[in-house]
Chain A
Amino acid sequence: MPTTAPTAHALADVTASDSTLRRFLHGLPGVDAVGLEARAASLGTRSIKTTAKAYAIDLAISMVDLTTLEGADTPGKVRALGAKAVRPDPTDRTTPATAAVCVYPDMVAVAKEAVAGSGVKVASVATAFPAGRAALEVKLADVRDAVAAGADEIDMVIDRGAFLAGKYLKVYDEIVAVKEACGTSARLKVIFETGELSTYDNIRRASWLGMLAGADFIKTSTGKVAVNATPANTLLMLEAVRDFRAQTGVQVGVKPAGGIRTTKDAVKFLVLVNETAGADWLDNHWFRFGASSLLNDLLMQRQKLATGRYSGPDYVTVD
């Protein structure tokens, strides 16, 4: 199985200059919005029952980047989150752990300690999250700080202003620099803030731009704007990673974030993965959910499957 090892692949020369990069990105096939959304909606009608549902719920739990990104975050809050990530359902030890906890850089050390020895990763949003409006040096310092504190994964935001102004090479260079700052120890997730890029054509271009620059994951959104992950924009990004691997042999992960709150939603996304990118992505190394309230709904549904009766919010932990 190909793993992430970009650089000298078939498309290396498209990033030679601003104009070659622009020509490449604008030469990607267009996206018809109505058709894309119809396809996403049609996959949303898949009916996932019984054993398939049990499988999907556990898979989804294992893919959650359990997230807290509030100005009011405290070590206590982050420790609670870490404990929840390691053991989501204290009443049922067969429940898988989540993939990671996702925190601001200054909370990485606390998070790291909270999940120590569990295999749960610590992801951190760096690069002046969520707006990304800071000098490159500041962003890189932010990244280095998080990595130094032990972050296993860095969730960076792209410069949407530069992207929308057509300065693709600037966006590219910045991702490359951040990737370098991640070193060999941290995987890089590149957040596009799809709600701000606005068009599907832009999302497809951003996906390729991010992958060309060495992203280990491409991620929809920060969760801080009006429109976050949707089935359609995630489907589009899944098509991009599928096509990128076909062309370069390099596999890149996908992380929809924000707005996925129910088991039903999560299962729909897994169907998208299954029928678009394929089974190779049905693993938390390649697919994540950026979410917080989703986990409790998954746990309640899991309890429902186990006991046959509907659970309630009093039977899952509040964190």
Chain B
Amino acid sequence: MASVFEYAPAPESRSVVDIAPSYGLFIDGEFVEAADGKVFKTVSPSTEEVLSEVAQAGAEDVERAVKAARKAFGKWSALPGSERAKYLFRIARIIQERSRELAVLETLDNGKPIKETRDADLPLVAAHFFYYAGWADKLDHAGFGADPKPLGVAGQVIPWNFPLLMLAWKIAPALATGNTVVLKPAETTPLSALFFADICRQAGLPKGVVNILPGYGDAGAALVAHPDVNKVAFTGSTAVGKEIARTVAGTRKKLTLELGGKGANIVFDDAPIDQAVEGIVTGIFFNQGQVCCAGSRLLVQESVQDELLDSLKRRLSTLRLGDPLDKNTDIGAINSAEQLARITALTERGEAEGAERWSPACELPSSGYWFAPTLFTNVTQAHTIARDEIFGPVLSVLTFRTPDEAVAKANNTQYGLSAGIWTEKGSRILAVANKLRAGVVWSNTFNKFDPTSPFGGYKESGFGREGGRHGLEAYLDV
């Protein structure tokens, strides 16, 4: 009789990354302490181990950083595009060289599996810089008129789910177009942004062009509100996004927002079923579901529901949850205790409202923040778990009978970031895609990203696009 093929632990070496006991803010090319001397700890969510102590930016630090960025703006924006391009190419190359180190760092600070940081986050980060590097001297060709101008100082606030990738999405187009930036990483994941500061140093980037301010929401609010900031870019929750929109109202600040989502993954009865199962898994369990464009609502045609759910459950049973540094881990840790509490509360609500909960047999580590992959069936449009963004590894399964109904249900949300369509019929893909009110529609695939491809939402998922030629517009005075 067959025996069991147990994979021995295969941890990626931690020794490739050297985390200092403390880090400062990065302002005007120097690491400095916060004006009020405040610091905060950043922990590894998989173990709760303290990784480092980081200076916590306040309003005065925002002032200093914006000033530095303003001072650097003149020279930086006056450089020929081809010279700015070469700085960004240098950064892209250094990221490629240091990518394993950064992948391990990101996994430690964020809790996501090394498989993802190594094979998804880091390659995309480098590619994003490489792509926008090439635009720096080609802005005349971008379709925004001859010689489009930068805006000035960009204030950027990014989330914790893809710390370095979100940094790349913000900084690469900003620098390529000649802006200077002040960026605030999330309080639970400040480290990769600080390592990026060191990469800027290695690349010889002029002082003040990039400033990094680790800190909490108050620092973000001060940055967004600062009168000498010309451009605000935010990725995060819809609630904070609305607050920012109110803050910049009546100013001349250009604003782009990339907010929450409740993506529908629509599976028709003629779907390539095995690949659809993979797509559903990728859609909701990639990065523990802490993805704004996650396919958190599975809309399956009623006639194939049983078959699909059987396959899906079987597949979920093979997911490997545990040490994020293990190369065979599919599901890592939830980023923070706070996020874990939110996921827990919403799933409890799902059960209370009568949805049927299922998880594969799955042992959770005793320390750290963990949540088992979870699937809810018997969910309807009226359930909270079908409407609210959970931002965790929780899939709500709904059914539909006809394409019309699928589209109606998919669109029946305040969000409009992403959607998926699974069918072997090309015309159905295009017809459904036409009707979906979502900024990114994946057909027969899910959660695919590329620097050349614009990303962003409809409705309360925000506005503006990041990536591609379209992504330049947010940083040009056009």
Q: Tell whether A and B belong to one assembly.
A: yes
- A interface with B by C-beta (< 8 Å): 1, 29-32, 34-36, 38-39, 45-53, 55-56, 59, 239, 270-271, 274-275, 279-283, 286
Instruction: Point out the residues of chain A lying under 8 angstroms from B1, CB to CB.
Output: 1, 283
28 residue pairs A–B, Cβ–Cβ below 8 Å: A29-B272, A29-B273, A30-B424, A34-B444, A35-B274, A35-B279, A35-B445, A36-B274, A39-B275, A39-B278, A45-B119, A46-B7, A47-B328, A48-B8, A48-B10, A49-B7, A49-B10, A51-B8, A52-B5, A52-B6, A52-B8, A56-B5, A239-B274, A274-B5, A275-B318, A279-B2, A279-B3, A282-B2
Name B114's closest neighbour in chain A (CB-CB). Answer: A47
Q: Cβ of B444 and Cβ of A32 under 8 Å apart?
A: yes
CA gap between A46 and B327 in the complex, in Å: 7
Query: When chains A and B are docked, how far (Å) is the Cα of A13 from the Cα of B444?
Result: 32
Residues of B within 8 A of A35 (CB): 272, 274-275, 278-279, 444-445
Given contacts A239-B274, A280-B2, contact A48 B445 (CB under 8 A): no
* Also in contact, A55 and B5, with CB within 8 A (given A30-B272, A34-B445, A47-B328): yes
In the bound complex, residues from chain B placing their C-beta under 8 Å from that of A51 are 6, 8
Instruction: Give the complex CA separation of A50 and B3 in angstroms.
Output: 17
Interface residues on B, range: 20 to 34
Report yes or no: B327 in contact with A47, Cβ–Cβ below 8 A.
yes
B305-333 interface (Cβ within 8 A of A) = 318, 327-328
* Nearest residue, chain A, Cβ from B424: A30
Q: Is B361's CB within 8 Å of the partner chain A?
A: no
B204 within 8 Å of A (CB atoms):
no
In addition to A47-B327, A55-B6, 20 A-B residue pairs with Cβ atoms within 8 Å of each other are: A29-B271, A35-B274, A35-B275, A35-B278, A36-B275, A39-B274, A39-B275, A47-B10, A48-B8, A49-B7, A51-B8, A52-B5, A55-B3, A271-B5, A274-B5, A275-B318, A279-B3, A281-B2, A282-B2, A282-B4
A1 to B1, CA, bound (A): 9
Bound complex: CA of A271 vs CA of B318, how far in Å?
Answer: 11
Within the complex, the shortest CB–CB distance from B314 to chain A, in Å, comes to 9
Q: When chains A and B are docked, how far (Å) is the Cα of A11 from the Cα of B166?
A: 52
Given A29-B273, A31-B275, A32-B444, answer yes or no on A282-B3 (Cβ-Cβ < 8 Å): yes
What 1/0 mask marks residues of chain B from 257 to 297 whose CB sits below 8 Å from any chain A CB?
Answer: 00000000000001111110011000000000000000000
Q: Are A45 and B327 in contact, CB atoms less than 8 angstroms apart?
A: yes
A55, B7: Cα distance in complex, Å: 10
A46-B4 contact given A31-B274, A39-B275, A239-B274, CB 8 Å threshold: no
Q: Which residues of A contact B275 (CB under 8 A)?
A: 31-32, 35-36, 39
Chain B neighbourhood of A271, CB < 8 A: 5
Q: How far is the CA of A314 from the CA of B424 in the complex (A)?
A: 52
A108-B306 Cα distance, complex, nearest whole Å: 48
Contact of A29 with B318 in the complex, beta carbons under 8 Å:
no
B74 within 8 A of A: no
Q: 1/0 per residue B6-31: CB within 8 Å of A?
A: 11111000000000000000000000
| Neighbouring A residues of B278 by C-beta, 8 Å | 35, 38-39
Contact flag A270-B5 (CB < 8 Å), given A30-B424, A35-B444, A47-B327: yes
Residues of A within 8 A of B327 (CB): 45-47
Identity of the chain B residue whose Cβ is nearest the Cβ of A48 in the assembled complex: B7
- B120 CB to nearest chain A CB (Å): 11
Q: Is B84 an interface residue (CB 8 A)?
A: no
| Chain A residues within 8 Å of B424, by CB | 30, 32
How close is A88's CB to chain B, nearest CB, in angstroms?
A: 20
Cross-chain contact of A29 among B10, B274, B279, B445 (Cβ < 8 A): B274
A47–B328 CA distance with the chains assembled, in angstroms: 6
B420 CB → nearest A CB, Å:
12
Q: Mark B233-271, 1 if CB is under 8 A from A, else 0.
A: 000000000000000000000000000000000000011
B 418-460 to A, binary, CB cutoff 8 A, 1 in contact else 0? 0000001000000000000000000011000000000000000
Q: Give complex CA distance A56, B4 in Å.
A: 10
Is B409 located at the chain interface by the 8 A CB criterion? no
Are A282 and B5 in contact, CB atoms less than 8 angstroms apart? yes
Interface flag for B115 (CB, 8 Å): yes
Most B CB contacts (10 A, CB to CB) among A1, A32, A36, A282 go to A32
Q: A286 — which chain B residues lie within 8 A by C-beta?
A: 2
Instruction: For residue B119, give the distance in angstroms from its CB to the closest CB of chain A.
Output: 7
Chain B residues closer than 8 Å to A282, beta-carbon distance: 2-5
Among B4, B10, B119, B444, the residue within 8 A (CB) of A279 is: B4
How far is it, in angstroms, between the C-alpha of A48 and the C-alpha of B8 when the chains are bound? Answer: 7
Least Cβ–Cβ distance between B115 and chain A, in angstroms: 7
Question: Given A31-B275, A32-B272, is A45 in contact with B115 using a C-beta cutoff of 8 Å?
Answer: yes
In the complex, chain B residues whose CB is within 8 Å of the CB of A30 = 270-272, 424
Q: Which residues of A contact B318 (CB under 8 A)?
A: 275
Task: Name the distance in Å between B137's Cβ and chain A's nearest Cβ.
Answer: 34
Assess the B9–A49 pair: CB atoms within 8 A. yes
Closest 10 CB pairs of A and B: A35-B275, A47-B10, A47-B327, A32-B272, A30-B424, A32-B275, A29-B273, A52-B8, A283-B2, A282-B2
Most interface-central of B271, B272, B273 (chain A CB within 10 A):
B272
Q: How far is the CB of B98 from chain A (nearest CB, A)?
A: 21
